[in-house]
Chain A
Amino acid sequence: MSDPLPVETQGLGKTYGDIVAVEHVDLSVEPGDVYGYLGPNGAGKTTSLRILLGLIRPTAGWARLFGRDPLTEGAKALDGVAGFVEGPRFYPYLSGRRNLELLSDFDEPVSRARVDEVLELVELRDRAKDKVGGYSHGMRQRLGIASALLRQPRLLLLDEPTTGLDPAGMRDMRNLVRRLASEGITIMLSSHLLYEVEELCNRVAIIRKGRIVYQGPLRELLAGTANRYRLRATEPERARLFCLSQPGIANVALDDGELGFSADEEAVAALSIALGQARIAFTTLMPETQSLEELFLGLTGDESSDRDREAVAS
């Protein structure tokens, strides 16, 4: 039997009375993944992560972290796992360092040197003696990462780690995530920022209204749907009429002197030869890579109902 996956869920569901927060969520995060959990606000990302962290009980299905179910095994299921939901929270009346010391005592105690080390890593060493009550949002986010790293996790679960940060803070956080991933930590992060997932993640799940609408490699998601091509020809109108007559070329549209059409690779290859034979010169023939944003809107549709549910579920 192969090693259990860092994250695996099957048919996971959570309902609050009549309100369905998530249903039929099947996820599998593999070792070394930087896994993006993408969805509009209120789609069920935080609910899923809460179940994974053992904070709430699912009403259907199961979730396992490295093969252990937080519902039945409690805190033991979090062995090797660290993270936070909805932003890390600390005791405002204790200093950053004291907060970390407290949390390390809620695990197996670590040395003061290790506390210094993680404070250094998130660049909070200078402010470690100050009470967390006076920390900025960005500093708290970084302290959250530091507290997670104290556990020396093999899996990090991060709920919208860059939300609310200024551009520099976002950049720092992303660099930190990249660095941790390069050290071999599997990371699952939720986000509603599409470019962030595009930038950081190798695999994604897209959740909409509590259901997973896509799961798989980001590359495949982008490639699989990129069957639109763009063509620039010296005689656009003649090219358009020619394309209409070609097999396998569909949805031809002329827009601002540029032709757009849908086709598979084979049809496009045939088209390029046919264009030459018909003596229609073209300067550009390239796939139109759909941005994740467009793709995402296509998959998730109207978001308003998600927000309504969020208000009830939280």
Chain B
Amino acid sequence: MTAVARVYRWEIAKLLAQKRTYLGLGSAVLVPIIFVVVLVLQTGGPNDVPLGRNIRDTGLAVPFVVLFFMSIWGLPLITALVAGDIVAAESHNGTLKTILTRSRERGEILTGKVLASVTYVVVVVFAMGLVGVVAGSIAWGFHPLTSLSGTQVPVGHGFALLLASLAIYALPLAGIAAFGLMLSTITQNSAASVVGALMWALLMQLLSVLPGTESFRPYLLGTQFEAWHGFLRVPADWAPVIRSLWVSGLYILLPLFTAYVVFLRRDVTGE
């Protein structure tokens, strides 16, 4: 096993030993369950959101609707909770100097943390999506999905589209994680980084709904949370998907680059 892989494995082990990880993951899987329970008990529904009218047709539609609601602040908060803490907590506890005085280079340690943060984001998104399918299918069955173009999509294909959508949805979320990790590295303060990353996400959402931002709206991070719509059109619209790949990529790479520059040179003093 390479050095980075060992660091990564321990970063995951550390996440698994901390309450905040389960707090985030738990909320992410609880939301679709609550969503389904409420919709079973109530009539009416989220008619204004993509696939909202079709939510009672099939369990496959549930995750897509939940993705919309969770993109505003739910998932950014869950992401920031872990990514904003991942370096700062170690600065605060003084464990950063403990691991920096072993044989691993700083770059290897930060890479392990980056990979662990990304893993967390991916696990959260997919757990939320899959729990949504299961909960929705229990309530309304596992039936073909109605696409955004109004056509019927068979269940197998629909499920594949869901997986692709979850994957493309995880990208802008990774952008928020990267921003949180950068703040975590710079501020060395967990609370400030969590709040800062969340504010960043909210600002991105705010800019994408304010008037006058139309010209640069496609390049805002918040817009990328809708890239999956492209998969649900018939035929598939690749433009938003491809744009999200590179736009989200920039939102991931620029903060990460900053985090590396800071982390590699920083004086580690601690308590």
Identify the A interface with B (CB < 8 A): 50, 53-57, 74-76, 78-79, 82-94, 98, 102-103, 105-109, 147, 151, 314
* A109 x B267 contact (CB < 8 A): no
> B265 touching A151 by the CB < 8 A rule?
no
Assess the B97–A106 pair: CB atoms within 8 A: no
Chain B's interface size range is 20 to 34
Chain A residue nearest to B5 (CB atoms) is A105
Q: Is B18 engaged at the interface, CB distance under 8 Å to the other chain?
A: yes
Answer yes or no: B157 CB below 8 A from chain A CBs. no
Chain B interface residues (CB < 8 Å from chain A): 6-7, 9-10, 13-14, 17-18, 93-95, 97-106, 265, 267-271
Bound CA span A90–B99, Å: 9
What are the residues of chain A within 8 A of B18 when measuring CB–CB?
Answer: 93
Known: A85-B97, A92-B93. Contact between A107 and B103, CB under 8 A? yes
Q: How far is the CB of A94 from chain B (nearest CB, A)?
A: 6
A164 to B94: give the CA distance in the assembly, Å: 17
CB nearest neighbor in A for B14: A91
Given contacts A50-B269, A93-B18, A102-B13, contact A55 B103 (CB under 8 A): no
Q: Nearest 6 CB-CB pairs, A to B? A: A89-B94, A106-B102, A56-B267, A55-B268, A107-B103, A105-B6
CB distance from A305 to the nearest CB of B (A): 20
Q: What CA separation (Å) do A218 and B17 show in the bound complex?
A: 48
Q: In the bound complex, how far is the Cα of B94 from the Cα of A103, in angstroms?
A: 14
**B97 and A55 form a contact (CB under 8 A):** yes
- For the complex, give the distance between the alpha carbons of A188 and B14 in Å: 32
Shortest CB distance A135–B (Å): 14
Known: A56-B268, A103-B99. A75 touches B105 (CB 8 A): yes
A190–B98 alpha-carbon span in the complex (Å): 18
Distance from B97 Cβ to chain A, minimum over Cβ atoms (Å): 5
Nearest CB of B to A134, in Å? 14
Task: Judge whether B98 and A78 touch: CB under 8 Å.
Answer: no
Cross-chain contact A79 with B270 (CB below 8 angstroms): no
- Asked if residues A102 and B106 are in contact (CB atoms below 8 Å), the reply is no
Please measure, in the bound complex, the distance between the C-alpha atom of A296 and the C-alpha atom of B181, giving whole angstroms.
46
Q: Which residues of B contact A147 (CB under 8 A)?
A: 98
Q: Contacts A74-B105, A103-B98 given; indicate if A55 touches B14 (C-beta within 8 A).
A: no
Inter-chain pairs besides A50-B268, A102-B13, 7 sampled, C-beta below 8 Å: A56-B268, A57-B265, A75-B106, A86-B271, A94-B14, A102-B99, A105-B10
